[in-house]
Amino acid sequence: MDNAATLALFAQGKAAWNAWAIAMIGRHTAIVAAGKWHFSIDWKDRAEVVPENEETKTWMSDSLAQFAEHQFAEPPDFSGFVFPGKALFMSAKFPTGARFSHANFYHGATFNGAAFSGPADFSGANFAAEGEFMLVKFAAEARFSGSRFGPGLVEPNMAGFCWFEDARFAGPALFDRVRFHGNTLFDDAEFAAEADFTGAEFRRYLSLTKTRFAGPARFNGALFPEPPDFAAASFAQPPER
């Protein structure tokens, strides 16, 4: 969907949105079952996905949730929403915050360059395939408690990669009990207040290159496949581990 169609459907509420989403997921399942899901990767253009037939192209277009550059006048509540295809929130503005609690991003979400001036609640959200939060500004609490970045069912599948490079966390950043199945990058991110990764599970690589922690950083009970390189980050006080 384009921006206008996406906003119109969102205005109808969660029931209408999720009915559309479930129908789109059913369409994708049928396309795959018929052997008609075909795409290629254009590695010359940031690994752009290129559909190779009309069925794949149409589904990718119809399943798109396009909120890029939109400014929400009121704090949107996407709690429990299902996003069947790409969810695009690049450079979106949330002047009073937003809720995405237990949202299901079926084929990835992109929030690069978004600005949350109020609390951002992603607790319990499921980011299938990938989650992109590069250059995002969180002016208040950013809560990802209990969320998951993991594999999805739609190909291509980034298996849970997430990017928080150059993100800015002015308030508490809560990543407790998050399951990170793919590579996780917080390079050049800034945490001005509490950064809580208590009980988080990192299945693959965690990068903290030039990450800055001005407040307490908690990694108590976190699981890593190999010891993370805390020396690559700067801490105002020793991290709790």
- Whether 195 is in a domain gets the answer yes
Q: Encode pLDDT of 69-107 as tens digits.
A: 999 999 999 999 999 999 999 999 999 999 999 999 999
What pLDDT sits at residue 181? 96
Confidence of residue 46 (pLDDT cuts 50, 70, 90): low
Beta-carbon contacts of 40 under 8 Å, excluding residues fewer than 6 positions away, are 49, 50, 52
Confidence of residue 124 (pLDDT cuts 50, 70, 90): very high
Q: Encode pLDDT of 50-72 as tens digits.
A: 999 999 999 999 999 999 999 99
What pLDDT sits at residue 45? 60
In this predicted structure, the answer to whether residue 13 has a pLDDT above a threshold of 90 is yes
In this predicted structure, the answer to whether residue 43 has a pLDDT above a threshold of 80 is no
What pLDDT sits at residue 89? 98
> If you average pLDDT over residues 24-50, what whole number do you get?
89
- Whether 137 is in a domain gets the answer yes
- Whether 2 is in a domain gets the answer no
Q: Kindly report the CATH number assigned to the domain that includes residue 193.
A: 2.160.20
- Whether 174 is in a domain gets the answer yes
What pLDDT sits at residue 44? 72
- Whether 15 is in a domain gets the answer no
Q: Encode pLDDT of 194-237 as tens digits.
A: 999 999 999 999 999 999 999 999 999 999 998 888 999 999 99
Q: Encode pLDDT of 186-206 as tens digits.
A: 999 999 999 999 999 999 999
State the total domains in the chain: 1
- Whether 12 is in a domain gets the answer no
- Provide, rounded to the nearest whole percent, the portion of the chain with pLDDT above 90: 90
- Whether 124 is in a domain gets the answer yes
- Whether 128 is in a domain gets the answer yes
The reply to whether omega before 156 is within 30° of 0 (cis) is yes
Range of the domain at 122: 68-235
